[in-house]
Structure 1
């Protein structure tokens, strides 16, 4: 209530000649009518509603009735269930801690979004119980899908190149497929350790540490980036186990070289900026490492066929790493070490499987990444696969109910030798391969598995073999991502998580993300 006024200033106490206020009489500020006042504004509010209805809505807040309070802004039971289930899915998919339901900020956000000022988050016990139920449902769905899969679909085992993993793979009845991304990154590491770039890289690491370990220096870098019109970004420190981190470190230093030079010069720091010669070397190294990054990311995809891409991708790298007359000595040394090491690692991988997969991919079936002699060997291997598949599906002599009648010598002479059946089968297989070779190539962005699915009728004998080889992943990068996810979950504040709960969270995060995609 304003001093000397009632109902938001719509009524004022009458002012006496001596300047004092008469608290027994009030005057309407709209129509100037006077009324008696006895500590109750009911009659005054009635006057506003009757004479001034447009002004009566702003007379101030009114206490809600019990029925109005229960019906206004309260979410229903069904909506509450949806909110709880959405919280469970969010916690599982994004690996959030269950204790987040005790966060006052989250509660206020949901209250503001729902309009229910009395909403309370579900308890931790409710969320844990729902997580277990969700895990059971999702696991049952995944199990039902696995039941429908034939047992013979498991053909290869992918691992990194660690000696213990390679030794374990020999004991299992599967083809071993080394992770090509691991192989490539190992080659990059070996080449960098034995190259003339190491001194420049060491200076880069000191510069990055100088700015990452000091908030003041980092703030100065942001100011310099803004002054030069560059994007505000922190420097990146390379880590041996983090792929392509050396390349990203070089890129960011190259983009911010003017700002870094200005700051280090003003500070008169012991950390010195790279010289022009060293910057030129890093530029050469960036040109060498960029194709490796592209190939690593290409082979590490999860949503497309990658096994048949290995040999064309490696062939592309070998072409880039070919020595040139214009290359400096340190570049020639890097290329020599890189090609020698990568060739050795490639030869020790499952080349036969990779070659057949490349041949059965309608994108690369011309096999330009191989020599002519290797091409003939690959098609001979595919021919043998077709022959072995044909022999495996033929009924054995023991399954026949009646023995076939013996042929007379005259019929053998007239109809041909027993090898004629084999010759006919050879001709049929050659016809099958020639029909596939005559098919036009498809675009690099198309899916070869979809191509085989649409043409399974025309290539009935070759399609099952193609699916078997093309479905093999080229890398174990998806597994590595799951390992990294586990490391993000198990932290200092979540050290008491049981192994079962960690398993549930990792599985649910993967299953729910795949379901959305």
Structure 2
């Protein structure tokens, strides 16, 4: 583009045109007030003139454009709406286990500003959110306690588990049927425990929770898995013990398989699954073969003794992916061998039995 015709400061000043049609680059003329200025390759004085003497007229839009956030403001958020937004944040953080410092996220703040139309909205502080969470917990606990006081008989279920960070937790849930024969079930506690999971310690945990919720005189049944410490703890308590039927069934299946003729076939299946689970490149090649065979892309499943139905799911997926597995292992020239026809027939029998 010809800079002579374009002018200076986005066209707000033009070079002076002489009578013979030539351009004098030492003189410029303001496009608004037509004032003439000497130009010495500096825009400072020209910019000062625009700021102090002239207000450029509004430009006429030549087409659609995206409006700025400030232009979309419908008004400042009222106190009641602001409180509703904060309460919704508190419930979301508490129920979905979000970190409290998420209120420092600028993206979340901008989303709320856009949705509410209040460009001046600021997120509540971490301290405010924590205070609201504690208040919410106290209110919910009071409601649950009032509901439990109306029950005649209450059953508890409890279980210990270990987190991925190797911390031990105990969860206890209450169950009862009200006068209208409606079942109520809700958690009483999920607490971190420090001591070893001996029977006496487990029994004390159940009693402590019952006393905290003031329901020790209403307890009739205690449900746990069949772990030895839990069974021993139940014997120390004056309640009827009801072992978990699903846990018993799972243990029955795993013990039966361990002493059957399927163990060698399942060991070979675990080796195949591990070959693809522990290598992203191997898993990617398997998925490519699944697409080539017209099948759905799905990862293999490793069976775990304590994970219900995991053995059955491992067997099913290997059977569904027989062709992709055979082709992929052959192309990789891996030491891991695919199941033989006889072994696949065994898996089919195990699938039917389970």
* TM-score bracket for this pair, using the shorter chain length: 0.5 to 0.7
* Contact 1:157–1:177 (Cα < 8 Å) also in 2: yes
The Cα RMSD (Å) is 3.9
Alignment match of 1:121 (pick from 112, 120, 123): 123
Q: Give the whole-Å Cα distance in 1 for the aligned partners of 2:325 and 2:28.
A: 75
Alignment match of 1:75 (pick from 74, 77, 95): 77
Structure 1 residue aligned with 2:28 = 23
The alpha-carbon deviation at position 221 of structure 1 amounts to 1.9
Alignment match of 1:97 (pick from 96, 99, 114): 99
Larger radius of gyration: 1
1:86/1:225 CA distance change after superposition, 3 Å = same
1:209/1:151 CA distance change after superposition, 3 Å = closer
Matching of residue 182 in structure 1 with residue 184 in structure 2: no
* Contact 1:13–1:25 (Cα < 8 Å) also in 2: no
SS for the counterpart of 2:338 is: coil
Structure 2 residue aligned with 1:37 = 34
- In proportion to residue count, which structure has more strand? 2
The alpha-carbon deviation at position 134 of structure 1 amounts to 0.4
Structure 1 residue aligned with 2:112 = 110
Q: Give the whole-Å Cα distance in 2 for the aligned partners of 1:278 and 1:56.
A: 74
Structure 1 unmatched ranges of 5 or more: 27-34, 49-54, 290-517
* Contact 2:270–2:302 (Cα < 8 Å) also in 1: yes
For 1:267-286, what aligned pairs fall within 5 Å after superposition? 267-286=332-351
Matching of residue 222 in structure 1 with residue 219 in structure 2: no
Partner deviation per Cα, 1:459-494 (whole Å, 9 max, x = no partner): xxxxxxxxxxxxxxxxxxxxxxxxxxxxxxxxxxxx
Q: Give the whole-Å Cα distance in 2 for the aligned partners of 1:169 and 1:252.
A: 39
* Contact 1:208–1:236 (Cα < 8 Å) also in 2: yes
Q: Give the whole-Å Cα distance in 2 for the aligned partners of 1:106 and 1:44.
A: 37
For 1:422-501, what aligned pairs fall within 5 Å after superposition? none
Aligned length in residues: 270
1:110/1:222 CA distance change after superposition, 3 Å = farther
The alpha-carbon deviation at position 13 of structure 1 amounts to 7.0
Q: Give the whole-Å Cα distance in 2 for the aligned partners of 1:72 and 1:7.
A: 34
The alpha-carbon deviation at position 118 of structure 1 amounts to 4.2
Q: Give the whole-Å Cα distance in 1 for the aligned partners of 2:92 and 2:295.
A: 36
* Contact 2:75–2:117 (Cα < 8 Å) also in 1: yes
The alpha-carbon deviation at position 9 of structure 1 amounts to 7.2
Alignment match of 1:257 (pick from 322, 337, 342): 322
Partner deviation per Cα, 1:402-447 (whole Å, 9 max, x = no partner): xxxxxxxxxxxxxxxxxxxxxxxxxxxxxxxxxxxxxxxxxxxxxx
* Contact 2:221–2:239 (Cα < 8 Å) also in 1: yes
The alpha-carbon deviation at position 234 of structure 1 amounts to 1.6
The alpha-carbon deviation at position 272 of structure 1 amounts to 1.2
Q: Give the whole-Å Cα distance in 2 for the aligned partners of 1:18 and 1:234.
A: 76
The alpha-carbon deviation at position 119 of structure 1 amounts to 3.5
For 1:406-425, what aligned pairs fall within 5 Å after superposition? none
The alpha-carbon deviation at position 266 of structure 1 amounts to 0.9
Relative contact order, higher structure (CA 8 A, sep 6+) = 1
1:227/1:156 CA distance change after superposition, 3 Å = same
Q: Give the whole-Å Cα distance in 2 for the aligned partners of 1:184 and 1:112.
A: 53
- In proportion to residue count, which structure has more helix? 1
Structure 2 unmatched ranges of 5 or more: 36-48, 155-217
